[in-house]
Amino acid sequence: MDSQPSFGARLLRAIRNLFVLTLIVGLGGAAVYALSLVNARTFVLEVQNGHLVVLKGKMMPVGAAQWAPSDPQLVDAYAPIDLEGNVSLTVNGQKFEDRDELDRALFQVLEMLARPRLNSDLPKDLERGLSLIRRAEKLHGLTDDQRSSLKKMQSDVAFFLARMRLDDARRQLEEALVQLKLAAESDSKSRGQASLMLLAVEPQVKLLATTLRATNLTADGAGTLGKALEPQLQKLFEELGKQVAPAPVAAPDPVAAPAPAADAG
Using DSSP, state whether 84 is helix, strand or coil.
coil
Could you tell me where the beta strands, DSSP code E, fall in the chain?
A: 43-48, 51-57, 64-66, 81-82, 95-96
The residue that leads in pLDDT, 63 or 221, is 63
- Which range has the top average pLDDT, 5-19, 33-47, 102-116, 147-161? 102-116
CB 91 within 8 A of CB 43: no
List phi, psi (to 5°) of 203.
-60, -40
pLDDT (mean) for 30-58: 81
pLDDT (mean) for 177-188: 87
The residue that leads in pLDDT, 34 or 150, is 150
Position 1 pLDDT exceeds 90: no
Query: How distant, in Å, are the alpha carbons of 109, 115, 129, 135 from that of 154?
Result: 16, 11, 10, 12
Note the pLDDT of residue 207: 83
CB 94 within 8 A of CB 46: no
Place 220 in a pLDDT band, splitting at 50, 70 and 90. Answer: very low
pLDDT (mean) for 184-200: 85
Position 194 pLDDT exceeds 70: yes
Position 226 pLDDT exceeds 90: no
Note the pLDDT of residue 234: 59
This prediction has a pTM of: 0.60
Note the pLDDT of residue 218: 40
Note the pLDDT of residue 248: 52
pLDDT (mean) for 57-70: 79
pLDDT (mean) for 116-128: 85
Percent of the chain with pLDDT over 70: 75
Q: What is the mean pLDDT of the chain?
A: 78
Using DSSP, state whether 39 is helix, strand or coil.
helix
CB 81 within 8 A of CB 63: no
Note the pLDDT of residue 58: 78
Q: In the chain, what are the domain boundaries? A: 43-156, 161-235
Note the pLDDT of residue 45: 92
